[in-house]
Chain A
Amino acid sequence: MFMSSDIAKPGTTPERHIVQPTDAQHPTVLSTEGLHVFYGDKEAIYEGDLKFARNQITALIGASGSGKSTFLRSLNRMNDRIATVKGRIMYRGVDINQPDIDVYEMRRRIGMVFQRPNPFAKSIYDNIAFALRLRGVTAKNKLDEIVETSLRQAALWDQVKDELDKSALALSGGQAQRLCIARAIAVKPDVLLLDEPASALDPVSTSQLEDTLLKLKQHYTIIIVTHNMQQAARISEYTAFFNQGRVLEYDTTSQIFTNPQVQVTSDYVSGNFG
């Protein structure tokens, strides 16, 4: 798919280069159309129209302040009370950026994991189970089962299975972050948004987390913000490069890292700035 700005004069690089995923095996689950995000009068996202392929990992990279978090948080309307989000956010054919959408139900489909692990001041078990109880899942064996599968999927089960009653606040950073992932997937989402989930973790926990994400992609569509370019290269199929509120380049991860078309992208991924 080509846009006018993609066509560059010979000898120059284009200003933007957007190639939306077209893999028929991984159809679009979520996409943004005409997205603009404002904090008060200040526009934080100007051009950020992306399509996200199902059961794939898409990485959002870019310098700090380029609008990655703003973009990500708009996708499940976590910015509702903070920013004004204009444009359409299409999730399986429905524009979820409309006032009459049930945001609570939508957020159960589009879950989110944050930069700093934020386990609740509850037991490990209750961190996962309590949102389910609120939704009417009360049978003990059913809860036990979901808690176990979620923890297994998040690769935390073996470490905590004997201390599910322990407070989640006593977990290490890496464990706490995986608990947050388990908590997010326990409500059976479709899309998982992660905002620099490994930035507070040590290298070992980070690599465990990456393995976990690679496994999770069989079941979920994953969109991850990361400032770590090796991480983006290791785990994602697609990468979007953000710069000053605009997506300057979007393509397969291998293209972005080995053959970037836009000069700014090329500078960024080769470490010449940011």
Chain B
Amino acid sequence: MNSKVQNKIAIGVLYGIAGVVVLILLALVGYILVSGLPKVSWHFLTTPAKAFLKGGGIGVQLFNSFYLLILAMLISFPIALGAAIYLYEYAKDNWVTSVVRTAIEILSSLPSVVVGLFGFLFFVVKLRLGFSILSGAFALTFFNLPLLTRSIEDSLHTIDDKQREGGLALGLSRWETVTRVILPAAVPSILTGVILSAGRVFGEAAALIYTAGQSAPALNFMDWNPFNISSPLNPMRPAETLAVHIWKINSEGIMPDAKAISSGSSAVLVIAILLFNLAARYLGKRLYKRLTSA
């Protein structure tokens, strides 16, 4: 068999595999959307869930998901940014950095249910935070931190070393070079990474079941004082998210329309994650364009 034929076969096989992957994805997303979209309505998206009766919605869960996402990002982004800057721009290759890198590596490969159980033992029980948004946000931080750090490090890596030298040659300090030259140039890529990780966090369930809890107490959307128990902003209240809701309905849902609600919620979750991914691409490209052209 000559190499030309071999090459053709190899390419054919690779195309085949890629095609199968895309087909599986399309089938999965298609199935979820087809079975779930009919259920999705404004009413469904905005009303609270009902435990025993038909006609409940996912309003509170949807809000919880976003609120937890924002809190988790607020906590994890600065830490990840600092860690990535330290590791990529400052750290020398010695045993300390290699320990840190290994730790990040291990942390990123922990199953999220382990992160969840750790969060339960540490934040919920030990620190007495209870099943709360805060416990959930901390657990999500553990889940998110290694991935986000790596992604920001990758973003810094895409900036040419010539840019760093350019800054130093102008008499800027390392810190000035990083903050004034490198970070601004890396913003599009960092933002893309942040949004993509937001998508992952948004769909996460296992880390939240034992930390943010599985109940969604009714919220009073007129009360924005974070210290009131029924306020949506109260970080100490238990908060079932959309992903946890799907898991819960499927394992113990007793409302008559459980199946439909589960399908509808899944469709909403999938759409949200798709939107995160599209937004990441779009914003990243746009920002990059703005930086590089008129």
Per DSSP, are chain B's interface residues mostly helix, strand or loop, or mixed? helix
CB–CB B293/A167 < 8 A: yes
C-alpha gap A119/B159 in the complex (Å): 12
CB–CB A166/B294 < 8 A: yes
- Of B62-70, B165-173, B225-233, the one with at least 4 CB within 8 A of chain A: B165-173
CB–CB B184/A121 < 8 A: yes
CB–CB B291/A121 < 8 A: yes
User: In the complex, what residue of chain B is closest to A186 when comparing beta carbons?
Assistant: B170
From B162, B169, B180, B185, give the contact of A76 (CB < 8 A): B169
A167-B291, A183-B170 known; A114+B180 contact, CB < 8 A: no
- Contact residues in A for B162 (Cβ distance below 8 Å): 114, 116, 118
- Contact residues in A for B172 (Cβ distance below 8 Å): 104, 131, 134
B160 interface residue per 8 A CB criterion: yes
Per DSSP, are chain A's interface residues mostly helix, strand or loop, or mixed? mixed
**A11: shortest Cβ distance to chain B, in Å?**
47
Interface code B10-41, partner A: CB below 8 Å = 1, 0 otherwise? 00000000000000000000000000000000
Interface code B269-294, partner A: CB below 8 Å = 1, 0 otherwise? 00000000000000000000011111
C-alpha gap A107/B169 in the complex (Å): 6
- Contact residues in A for B291 (Cβ distance below 8 Å): 121, 167, 169
From B170, B176, B181, B290, give the contact of A184 (CB < 8 A): B170
B163 interface residue per 8 A CB criterion: yes
CB–CB A78/B181 < 8 A: no
A107-B168, A114-B165, A187-B170 known; A120+B294 contact, CB < 8 A: no
A130-B180, A170-B294 known; A118+B160 contact, CB < 8 A: yes
User: In the complex, what residue of chain B is closest to A106 when comparing beta carbons?
Assistant: B171
CB–CB A170/B292 < 8 A: yes
Interface code A164-177, partner B: CB below 8 Å = 1, 0 otherwise? 00110110000000
A112 interface residue per 8 A CB criterion: yes
**A119: shortest Cβ distance to chain B, in Å?**
8
Chain A contact-residue range equals 20 to 34
- Contact residues in A for B293 (Cβ distance below 8 Å): 166-167, 169-170
- Contact residues in B for A118 (Cβ distance below 8 Å): 160, 162-163, 165-166
**B32: shortest Cβ distance to chain A, in Å?**
40
Interface code A106-130, partner B: CB below 8 Å = 1, 0 otherwise? 1110011110101111100000001
A96 interface residue per 8 A CB criterion: no
- Contact residues in A for B171 (Cβ distance below 8 Å): 104-108, 131, 187
A180 interface residue per 8 A CB criterion: yes
Interface code B171-215, partner A: CB below 8 Å = 1, 0 otherwise? 111001000110011000000000000000000000000000000
A144 interface residue per 8 A CB criterion: no
**Size of interface on B: residues with Cβ below 8 Å to A:** 22
A145 interface residue per 8 A CB criterion: no
**A77: shortest Cβ distance to chain B, in Å?**
9
CB–CB A121/B185 < 8 A: yes
C-alpha gap A131/B169 in the complex (Å): 11
A267 interface residue per 8 A CB criterion: no
CB–CB B165/A78 < 8 A: yes
- Contact residues in A for B173 (Cβ distance below 8 Å): 104
C-alpha gap A119/B171 in the complex (Å): 15
C-alpha gap A254/B160 in the complex (Å): 39
- Contact residues in A for B184 (Cβ distance below 8 Å): 120-122
CB–CB B180/A184 < 8 A: no
C-alpha gap A118/B185 in the complex (Å): 12
A43 interface residue per 8 A CB criterion: no
From A76, A120, A187, give the contact of B181 (CB < 8 A): A120
CB–CB A114/B166 < 8 A: yes
- Contact residues in B for A105 (Cβ distance below 8 Å): 171
**B268: shortest Cβ distance to chain A, in Å?**
37
CB–CB A111/B170 < 8 A: yes
- Contact residues in B for A184 (Cβ distance below 8 Å): 169-170
Point out which of A78, A107, A118 has the most chain B C-beta atoms below 10 A from its C-beta. Answer: A118
- Contact residues in B for A211 (Cβ distance below 8 Å): none
Point out which of A76, A111, A120 has the most chain B C-beta atoms below 10 A from its C-beta. Answer: A120
**B60: shortest Cβ distance to chain A, in Å?**
43
**B191: shortest Cβ distance to chain A, in Å?**
14
Q: A residues 28-43 with Cβ under 8 Å of B?
A: none
- Contact residues in B for A122 (Cβ distance below 8 Å): 184
- Contact residues in B for A106 (Cβ distance below 8 Å): 171
User: In the complex, what residue of chain A is closest to B167 when comparing beta carbons?
Assistant: A120
- Contact residues in B for A108 (Cβ distance below 8 Å): 170-171
CB–CB B294/A167 < 8 A: yes
B residues with a Cβ closer than 8 A to A are 160, 162-163, 165-173, 176, 180-181, 184-185, 290-294
A residues with a Cβ closer than 8 A to B are 76, 78, 104-108, 111-114, 116, 118-122, 130-131, 134, 163, 166-167, 169-170, 180, 183-184, 187
12 contacts between A and B (CB under 8 A): A104-B171, A108-B170, A111-B169, A111-B170, A114-B166, A118-B166, A120-B166, A121-B184, A121-B291, A167-B293, A170-B292, A183-B166
**New A-B pairs, 6, CB < 8 Å, besides A113-B169, A130-B180, A170-B292:** A104-B172, A114-B162, A114-B165, A118-B166, A121-B184, A163-B294
